[in-house]
A and B are shown apart, each in its own frame.
Chain A
Amino acid sequence: MEGHTVKSYDVELQELDRRIAQMGGLVEKILAEASEALQRRDPRLGAIAIAQDAGIDRLERQLQERAVNMLARRQPMADDLRHVMIVLKIAGDLERIGDLAKNIAKRANAISEESHPKPLMIGFRHMTELAMRQLKDVLDAFSVRDAELALAIWRSDAKLDTLFNSVFRELLTYMMEDPRQIGLCTHLLFGAKNIERIGDHTTNIAENVYYLVTGQVLGGDRPKRDDTSGVWALPPASD
């Protein structure tokens, strides 16, 4: 949103915020489209989502230029410096989320030919909905500087991990029951992992927003519940 020729400090900082909002909106849209492409097995939707990822990269580059420009010219201190640094970090996280969403769309295209077992897709859809809700909340929290909301999002990362665990187990079961499903399930597994990673980046953004507003760093161990690294092949059902 351009307008003034003589920019004051405040306006420049505001402009950074608006660009984050713009980037965030595009990332939210791509994630929604990728998720729908997966549910509806529609390769065209997938293609649309993939094409828009380039837009996110461009926005991130522009934002970086502005931010670095500001740092050089204004040499901000204290709050303002924190503001600019946080904006850069959030842009980085958003770019990663966009990338992960694009990968989900690619997976959707890969498995669009095959039929998806309904129970599996339901678990997947819950994961995506949760991730999208968290992303929206964290972007809202940044937009209105709501530390409480950021804290709540940071705390709820475990929910997504728990969902991922159950989807992981379900996929393993499917694969063991019917080896013909292995191809499909592996793609879905990667897709689910992507969503879990999106959740992690969202939590990063939440930490940064909290720091921006309160000046405090959210303590060491984020509540994590991903225990899939301890899961090997499940024992066969007893006869």
Chain B
Amino acid sequence: MKAETILDWPTLSRTRPIRGRLVDAGLRRLAGRGAALVAGGLLTGLFLMVGQLDWSVALAGLCGLAGWAALWPAAAGADGGPVKIAAGRAADAPAATAEAADRSATWRAMLAGLADASIVMDGEGMVIAANAAARDWFPASSGRHISQLTRSPELLTAVDRALATGRAQACRTRMVVPVERQVAGLITPLARPPHADGVPVLLLVLRDLTEQERLARMRADFVANASHELRTPLASLKGFVETLQGAAKDDPAARERFLDIMQQQAARMSRLIDDLLSLSRIEMREHVPPQSVIELGGIVAETCRALEPLAREARTSLSFASPTGRMMVLGDRDELLQLGQNLIQNAIKYGKPDGHVSVGLHKQGNRIALSVADDGIGISPEHLPRLTERFYRVSAKDSRERGGTGLGLAIVKHIVNRHNGELNIVSRTAEGSTFTVLLPSLADPGEIEQPLS
């Protein structure tokens, strides 16, 4: 990172003109010396009158006194601050300003090194310096007051409080336009009053919490949804258990029926927990590209065979046209199996009775396309962008009846992401849907020294 030029603001007084300050400094000096001169003069006069002093000695003495008054540098004044308007302080001025310049360079360098947006203000709230991150947020911070950069009541109140109490202040604020942002501000006092203008007094550091808040909210939402999904079948189970313990204790027909339903509910919970664990596992590995060489044809064929019973039960015919040639990809066998299973299962579930599900696998450019097409109820366009959202349902009742967990497509999406692929969904209401997964095909499997999985 190359060295940063911090914007440098003039540190002249804003309340009194320069001339005023010079006059002040001069007057202070003169006042002291004037008093000394007068005293010396009076004493000399006294001695002269009493006859103890010679005229020439008296004159020399007075000249010496006058010379001292005019030329000797003054004792340190009350002026604070790194920049002194030093009229008549020729002797010690270079040392003082050099030290001040050093300090200034140090804190400016520190400001440049802060990652969060940071601003240094003087005792009036005027911006003295701003680092690059702060200039991203407030492009025109040059020579402005903090209230010209932001009007957030929380921030401005915190600045006031910090100036009044000299203690650090923390605050949170929300900016809504142009972009919604959650911001945390920390204000640290740097110097004690009184301050001349231009002296760094406050450091304001702003941290953007938006992403953090968004993720936290997403996580909380997910946990809430998952709990709800589990609680529903659990409540149903508890209800039936109570009924069997009480009212239906001696009713074998009711017992049969209820036990059946309880079994279904337990199975539903079990599926949901399986899916949750799957999703969690896949997410953890999502950023690690898979390394095994996989022949997709075999995987899809295996999945179709496994789902035959389900298809028969749903009175749906399931067909898979075996591809010509080998469809090779780099992938994770278990995950690809699950992907195929979820897609085909969905097609069967949401297909119409006596319907048809056709699975295809073919090359498409330098990718391999796995397509699952059904002729079922279809999905209307407004739902399409949200299908892969966790627990999103087009129709909650429908999904429940068909035993869905709400996570199937979310799992598919994460697997596709991990495999650097693409998922396309095409659908027409009452006509059916086609889900296509595109995966980068492996150019030359011969190059990779691995046994086929």
Contacts and interface: CB of A to CB of B under 8 A. Distances in A.
Interface in B133-171: 140, 144-145, 147-148, 150-153, 156, 159-160, 163
Nearest to A30: B153
Contact of B174 (A3, A24, A32, A133): A32
A18 B149 CA distance: 11
Consensus secondary structure, chain A interface? helix
Consensus secondary structure, chain B interface? loop
A18 B152 contact: no
A29 B152 CA distance: 8
A144 B140 contact: yes
Contacts of A10: 14
A143 B148 contact: yes
B147 A143 contact: yes
A28 B151 contact: yes
A14 B163 CA distance: 18
B332 interface: no
Contact of B177 (A4, A18, A21, A132): A132
B152 A133 contact: no
B364 to A, nearest CB: 38
A53 to B, nearest CB: 13
Given A4-B15, A144-B140, A25 B177 contact: no
B152 A25 contact: yes
B123 interface: yes
Interface residues of B, number: 23
Contacts of A14: 145
A10 to B, nearest CB: 7
B15 A11 contact: yes
A17 B160 CA distance: 16
A88 interface: no
Nearest to A7: B15
A1 interface: yes
Contacts of B123: 3
B160 A136 contact: no
Nearest to B163: A1
Nearest to B178: A133
B147 A21 contact: yes
Contacts of B14: 10-11
A231 interface: no
Contacts of B49: none
Given A25-B151, A143-B148, 8 more contacts: A1-B125, A1-B160, A3-B124, A11-B15, A21-B151, A25-B150, A32-B174, A144-B140
